[in-house]
Structure 1
C-alpha cells in the first residue's frame, strides 16, 4: 500500500497564474485532444494546425504519442494499466502547458471513453476540446503509414487498437473530422475554423 507523503507543500497560490500568462501571450490556452485510430491522420492534422496557428501569432505545443513514448513515458507498455497511466501523465503535462497559457495540441489514440474521461477530468471540461479524427480500420490499414497494421496482422504487435483491443468512438466530441472524405488541408481548415473563436482573447 502506498503511503501519501507528508513532506509535500504545494505553492500554487503563490506563483503567477494562468491569467497572467495568457495576458502576456494574448491568447486563451486550450487543450485540443485528437483521438482516433493509428493512421487516421491525427499527427498530420496537428502539424498543419500548429503551422496555421503560428501564422496567426499563437503559441502552441504538440504532444504526439510516439514522441512522448520515447521520453517521459518510455517505461510504459501497452497493457490497459500502462495505457491509462500514459494518458494520465500526458494530461498532467497538458495541464502544465495550459497553466502557462500555451495552446496544446495532443495526438493520441486514447482508445476508450473512460481513458479520455481521465484526461478530461485532469485538464478540466472547459479546456478539453476533443477532436475525433475519424477513419475506419480498413482505411487506416490500407494507409498503414508506419507499418503497424501489417505487424499486428502478423502477430508481432499485441493489444493493437481496432484489431485485438477496442476503440470506442467519442459520443459527443467538440469536432469530428472524417479524413477519408477530406484532404489534409481541408481537415486543418475545418479544425482552425472551429477552434479559433475559443483561442482569441477579447
Structure 2
C-alpha cells in the first residue's frame, strides 16, 4: 500500500555512504533470514548478532514477532498484509544498514515477490542485501513447534499458516542456504561470518 507522495518534501543529502563507511570502518549490509516458522531464523539471527557485537562490529536485529508489536501492529497475515509487512521492514532495514550496521532480519517472508521487493529497495540505494534461506523440512519444524502454531493450524484454529494452509515459496538463488536440521547454530553462524569476511562486510 503505497503512500501518496507529497510535492512538498525533498530528499536531504548529508554525509555520503562512502564517508560514513570510511569513518565507521564498516560496510552496511542487510542479512535477510527467511524460512518456515521454527526453522531457526530467529535463533540463528540472535546468535549472529551476538557474535558480531562481541567482535566489536555494529549489528542490529529486526525480528518478525517483535516488529508486529509496534511498527506493524496494524497488519494481519493476509497476503496483502504480509506484503506490506515485508515492504516496511525492507525500508527500515535499508535505513539501519545505511548507518554502516549489519542489519539482521528474521521473517518468514514466504513470497518470492515480497523478498524481491526488499532486495530492490536495497539495490536502489546501493545497500548490499544477502538472502539466507534457513531451511528445515516441514516434519522437522512441526516436531519443534515451540509456540504450538503448527498444531493449531492442523486443528483449523489458525486459518492462514505458512507451510500448512498458506504457501512458502523457497528462495531460488539465496546467497546462503543453511539446513538447520543438519547444521548446528554455531556452524551456521560460522558460515555466515565467513561470507561476511570474504566479501569485506566485516
TM-score range, shorter chain: over 0.9
Task: Call closer, same or farther: CA 1:94–1:200 in 2, change over 3 Å.
Answer: closer
Could you say what the CA RMSD is over the residues aligned between the two structures, in angstroms? Answer: 1.6
Q: Per-residue CA shift, 1:92-146, capped at 9, x if unaligned?
A: 0011112111110110111011110010000117611000000011110100011
Distance in 2 between residues matched to 1:72 and 1:191, nearest whole Å: 28
Where structure 1 has 5 or more consecutive residues not aligned to the other structure, the ranges are none
Tell me the SS of whatever aligns to 1:81.
helix
Q: Paired residues, what number? A: 198
C-alpha contact 2:133 2:178 (8 A) present in aligned 1: yes
Partner of 1:129: 130
C-alpha contact 2:44 2:188 (8 A) present in aligned 1: yes
Per-residue deviation at 1:21?
2.4
Partner of 1:110: 109
Where structure 2 has 5 or more consecutive residues not aligned to the other structure, the ranges are none
Deviating runs (4+, > 4 A) in structure 1?
none
Distance in 2 between residues matched to 1:3 and 1:200, nearest whole Å: 35
Distance in 2 between residues matched to 1:96 and 1:187, nearest whole Å: 26
TM-score w.r.t. structure 1 length?
Answer: 0.92
Distance in 2 between residues matched to 1:88 and 1:179, nearest whole Å: 27
TM-score w.r.t. structure 2 length?
Answer: 0.92
Per-residue deviation at 1:19?
2.2
